[in-house]
């Protein structure tokens, strides 16, 4: 398996994982859904389709990619990442807190953290509040440890739900915009079914990504053999 391809898919997969997790705190023991991600860069488009499976008992999240290539990504709350490719029985592993199944958007929703989307837990402090045209606009300043990455982050809420996040780099330049919309109300959770992200690159180019969620099932309705999937013991580990 080409390492560059693996890392690229991992990055996209992680983006998808940002929108999917659950915890017994909200009465959601397991959840499954479909995800379709479309991205555009330099006039070239790419599409990624996957199913995501999560259960709160062990914190395991399984992402099954169908397009462009069949792969299985597994993460847990400790940030252990495994990507398995059935076609050649190969396995790629890494570990980082950024891969944790609890480091994601829906985890924040379930724990009443929609006001800051987890920024306060990362050490950010709220520095300003404004109300404009029915919108709540808050500004967040980074801790010293993240000052080399961000100068501030702006969040916009409508009806208590986040609809926009703007990220500014250390030079006060807007480098990323994220829009959350098409909210859908489920018995135990409210989810933005469409997430659109604009990443502005140093050379003036940009990457536009849009993730659409569908076919959300929870608890007794979430039934699939993928919840029990285990990577074969004879899988070949690659760098």
pLDDT tens for each residue of 27-72: 678 889 999 989 998 889 989 899 999 887 888 889 999 877 899 9
Query: pLDDT tens digit string along 216-233?
Result: 998 899 999 999 999 999
Say if CB 82 and CB 93 are below 8 A apart: yes
Structural domains of the chain sorted by starting position, each given as residue range(s) with its CATH number in brackets: 3-238 (2.50.20.10)
Whether residue 82 is preceded by a cis peptide bond, meaning omega within 30 degrees of 0, is no
Q: Which of 237, 232, 239, 193 is nearest to 216 (CA)?
A: 193
Say if CB 35 and CB 44 are below 8 A apart: no
Q: Which of 40, 39, 22 is nearest to 31 (CA)?
A: 22
pLDDT of residue 98: 67
Whether 113 has a pLDDT exceeding 50, the answer reads yes
Q: Which of 157, 153, 156 is nearest to 170 (CA)?
A: 153
What percentage of the chain reaches a pLDDT higher than 90? Answer: 53
Burial of 91-116, coded b for 16+ CB within 10 Å and e otherwise, reads bbeeeeeebbbbbbbbbbbbeeebeb
> What are the start-end ranges of the E strands in the chain?
30-41, 44-55, 60-67, 71-75, 80-85, 90-95, 125-132, 135-141, 152-158, 161-168, 174-185, 190-200, 206-218, 236-238
Whether 170 has a pLDDT exceeding 50, the answer reads yes
When the pLDDT of each residue in the chain is averaged and rounded to a whole number, the result is 84
Whether 109 has a pLDDT exceeding 70, the answer reads no
Highest mean pLDDT among 12-26, 63-77, 115-129, 134-148: 134-148
Whether 26 has a pLDDT exceeding 80, the answer reads no
Q: With a threshold of 0.85, does the pTM exceed it? A: no
Say if CB 161 and CB 183 are below 8 A apart: yes
Whether 10 has a pLDDT exceeding 70, the answer reads no
CA 206 from chain center: how many Å?
Answer: 19
pLDDT of residue 56: 79
């Amino acid at each position: 398996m080409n390492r560059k391809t693996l890392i690229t898919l991992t990055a996209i997969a992680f983006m998808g994982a940002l929108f999917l997790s659950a915890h017994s705190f909200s009465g959601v023991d397991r959840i499954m859904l479909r995800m379709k991600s479309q991205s555009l860069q330099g006039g070239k488009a790419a599409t990624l389709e996957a199913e995501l499976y999560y259960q709160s008992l062990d914190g395991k999240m399984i992402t099954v990619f169908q397009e462009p290539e069949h792969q299985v990504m597994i993460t847990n709350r400790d940030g252990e990442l495994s990507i398995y490719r059935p076609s050649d029985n190969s396995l790629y592993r890494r570990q980082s807190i950024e891969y944790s199944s609890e480091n994601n958007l829906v985890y924040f929703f379930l724990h009443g953290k929609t006001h800051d989307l987890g920024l306060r837990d990362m050490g950010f402090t709220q520095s300003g509040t404004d109300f404009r045209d029915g919108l709540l606009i808050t500004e967040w300043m980074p801790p010293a440890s993240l000052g080399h990455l961000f100068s501030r982050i702006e969040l916009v809420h409508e009806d208590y739900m986040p609809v926009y996040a703007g990220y500014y780099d250390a030079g006060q330049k807007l480098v990323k915009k994220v829009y959350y919309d098409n909210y859908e109300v489920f018995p135990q959770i409210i989810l933005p079914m469409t997430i659109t992200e604009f990443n502005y690159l140093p050379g003036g180019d940009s990457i536009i990504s849009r993730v659409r969620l569908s076919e959300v099932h929870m608890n007794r309705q979430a039934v699939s053999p993928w919840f029990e999937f285990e990577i074969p013991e004879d899988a070949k580990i690659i760098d």
